[in-house]
Amino acid sequence: MNCTFKDPNLVKKIVDALASGVEILNLYVTANGINVTATNATNTDLRQLVLQPSWFESFTCTHDCVLGVNMPLLQKFMGTAGPKDKITWFHNEGSRFFNITIEGAGESKSIKDWTLFLVDFDADALTPPPNPTFNVSFRVSTVLVSEWIKDCKIIMGNIDFGIEKDKHITIKSESDIGQFEHKHAIPSVMATVYQSEPDFTAEKQRISNKEADHLNTMIKCAPGVDLQFHPSMPLCATSYLDAEQNSFIRLWIAPMANDDDLSDED
């Protein structure tokens, strides 16, 4: 496998998103690109990455391989690259090493070679929900979602994402020290619904304060994020990495029970 990246800043953000709460994961590399499906340490979310060959500056893979990678260490290696440096990933068939080369873009023309020792990581075979359907799907500006999460972090509560048909998106958070609520009208320049079921009227899902951190890291990979809700499905958040929407990073977040759910059980 040998690949170089068009945008060093973007691939660093992708690595940051995968590493958020994850120690080790497998990169699945084939002639069709690089794929990741991995859960975090607490099994409260599933991260999915699809990078097709056309997404790279250059990509070749003559033999399928599974690369067990220590993500915090890869994150540190990648963090040494500048905003205009050329980053290359390289792996020889059967090798225990994963090589990262960073060529400086400045006048010095420096070259950094990092070697990451691969890890035998026997991960369970993971697959995202097959052919999922959602009650509602809406696209929101990354800046907006990041601002919502930042506001909720002030009181350190879990976050309720709600949406009401043709009215607004509602963000709520509550903790021992206070409450927060924000309503954003839809449609708007920064948020719009692009799919809904005929019987959709309103949906709400709650995620933990920690999962909000992981979400906030992932959405930095693109200017917008697609959020999709269904009462019997995890919250699905997708950042598309190309105009064709063939390459993407996705986070499936297990929802928490909200107060209404607990009341119904009583």
Chain segment 48-74, per-residue pLDDT in tens = 999 999 999 999 999 999 999 999 999
Let me know: does 188 contact 163? Beta carbons within 8 Å: no
Q: What are the chain's domains?
A: 2-117 (3.10.150.10), 136-226+255-265 (3.10.150.10)
pLDDT at residue 259 greater than cutoff 60: no
pLDDT at residue 22 greater than cutoff 60: yes
Average pLDDT for the chain: 93
- What local confidence, expressed as pLDDT, does residue 128 receive? 80
Cα gap 153→160, rounded to integer Å: 13
Claim: this prediction has a pTM higher than 0.85: yes
Let me know: does 159 contact 207? Beta carbons within 8 Å: yes
- What local confidence, expressed as pLDDT, does residue 3 receive? 98
| DSSP-based three-state secondary structure for 180 | strand
| DSSP-based three-state secondary structure for 114 | strand
Query: Identity (one letter) of the amino acid at 142?
Result: T
Average pLDDT over residues 151-169: 96
118 secondary structure, DSSP code: P
Query: Identity (one letter) of the amino acid at 59?
Result: F
Residue pointed to by tokens 């948020």: 191
- What local confidence, expressed as pLDDT, does residue 126 receive? 67
Q: Quick one: which H or E segment has residue 33? A: strand 33-39
- What local confidence, expressed as pLDDT, does residue 242 receive? 96
Average pLDDT over residues 174-182: 96
Cα gap 88→61, rounded to integer Å: 13
pLDDT at residue 262 greater than cutoff 60: no
How would residue 115 be classed by pLDDT, with cut points 50, 70 and 90?
A: very high
Which residues share a beta bridge with 39?
46
